Structure formats: structure tokens, C-alpha cells
Amino acid sequence: MTVKITLKQVREARKLSQNKLAQIIGMTLQNVQRIEYGDAKSIPLDTLDKLCEALNCQTGDLLVRVPDDDNKQADLMIEQIINNLKPLNQKQDIKSSNSKENAASWFEALPEIPQSA
């Protein structure tokens, strides 16, 4: 999982410009932009705390976990498999509508089990 910075969305929802936010938290405009665009290599906890205080939000509002591309690919494959199985399942539902006959045919196919077993 990767972490996505949602600073822009939160800042815009509070109707603050990047410049105003930078002034409030005592950062340069360039540093606010780096964080907002995801170009910052890291965000110190005290900066995160200042951002949350200025934007009246929680850290979970600014940092959101998103699945990696590998997980997205796996999810797409699983979805494709499920979609391919749906028609098979529908055919099986039609076949199983007469379940007594199906159950009887299963028992007929079983070899006879000796009484001593």
C-alpha cells in the first residue's frame, strides 16, 4: 500500500490558497507545493501537525492509504474470473433446480460400500 497526500483537496475545501496556508504554518510556498504535489520525500511529524491544526483536520484526512498497482492488477484479475464464472453459475442453477434428481444421480454414481466397512 502507498500513502496518498490529499492536502490539495482538504485545503481547497477550507478555501485556503497555497500561499495563505504557507503563511499560517510558517513554511515556504515551495514546500507546501512539494507536499501537495507529492514531491516531498518525507513530511516531518511537526509539519503534519501544523497542517492539521491550520486546516482543522486529522492526519487521516491528509494521508490516505491506496492499493499498489500490483493489488489493482490482482483485483482486476479476480473480478474478471468472477465475471467469467457467473454464466457457469447460472447454468448450474438451472441444472440444480431439480435437486432431488441431481442428488439421486450422485448416489447412483457412487460404488456400493460393503456393510462391513
The residues spanned by each domain of the chain are 2-66, 69-107
* pTM: predicted TM-score of the whole model, two decimal places: 0.57
pLDDT in tens, 28-69: 999 999 999 989 888 999 999 999 999 999 998 999 887 766
How far apart, in whole angstroms, are the C-alpha atoms of residue 92 and residue 105? 15
Residue 82 has pLDDT above 80, yes or no: no
DSSP 45-76: HHHHHHHHHHHT--HHHHEEEE--HHHHHHHH
| Fold classification of 2-66 (topology level) | 434 Repressor (Amino-terminal Domain) (1.10.260)
